[in-house]
Amino acid sequence: MNSLREYISEAVIRKTAIGHFNISTLDGVWAVVDAARELNLPVIIGVSEGERDYVGVRQIAAIVKTIREERGQPVFLNADHTYLFDRVKEAIDAGFDSVIFDGAQLSLEENIAIAKKCVEYARQHRSERGESESRHEVLVEGELGFIGTSSKILDAIPEGAVVGEASMTTPLDAERFVRETGVDLLAPAVGNIHGVVRGGDPALNIERVKKIYEAVGVPLVLHGASGNSADDIERCVQNGVAIVHVNTELRIAYRRGLMKSLSENPDEIAAYKYLRPAKLEMQKVVTEKLRIISRL
């Protein structure tokens, strides 16, 4: 099986992207891996700090590892939106495949300093594992530009989110950030926001995506893809985005499926029975997004 870096490199060459889907329960894990298996695609399971605290850091690492080994399926684990170095270190030590240091709300200098420290720790961790495990490389992603913090339904664009042309991540800052930190991946602010805005998300700035990618020379990551149009997502992938994050739409699907299941089966008390429809609703969303970013 290829490494995550190799799958990302393949995606860049083919101008496709790898789907990154956040989970909070085991139902979410199976929704993601089953959808990816049906389409024969690599996939990334993401867990934010809050999601990791709920499911367990080492526990989710063990679950993903066993699925990958038993199925021979390219399923990878990412520590999404991590705000402190110690939490990055925790995920790396637990065996995650990639980590995101999110210093978007810090000054550029502070963001660079901590992201660089995260990269150095990841490289040190790899060398200490020895030759037999040298393929287990932990990729580090940096984030530049605030796009909000909540994966929920929003009445308006979050205060401070950089969706205007003048306030988006600039190619100049992005180039400096990547050069000084050595991150493997970069998540810029290009009109994207976390969550889904009632009435529709703002359009993504495809030209800014292209210019940032040309400036940094590393694959880009699109956060907050829930609510964005398929056309915008496809055009981002064509211009340097190699990983696409989806979370809010999965949460909406899970809640919708669960409420429908409970209302239609009010006397059912076996959790695995009334939770299955919710899992399948999530799986539909994962399948749809994977088809978009893989041009299937």
Among 255, 286, 231, residue whose Cα is nearest residue 19:
286
Q: Which of 27, 34, 53, 80 is catalytic?
A: 80
Q: What distance in Å separates the CA atoms of residue 172 and residue 197, rounded to the nearest whole number?
A: 29
Locate 14 and state its tokens: 């083919």
Q: Is 80 a catalytic residue?
A: yes
Q: Please give the radius of gyration of the chain, using alpha carbons only, rounded to the nearest integer.
A: 18
Residue 250 contacts residue 228 (beta carbons within 8 Å): no
Q: Which amino acid is at 88?
A: V
Q: What distance in Å separates the CA atoms of residue 221 and residue 17, rounded to the nearest whole number?
A: 9
DSSP 152: S
Locate 201 and state its tokens: 């998300």
Locate 17 and state its tokens: 């992207």
Known catalytic residues?
80
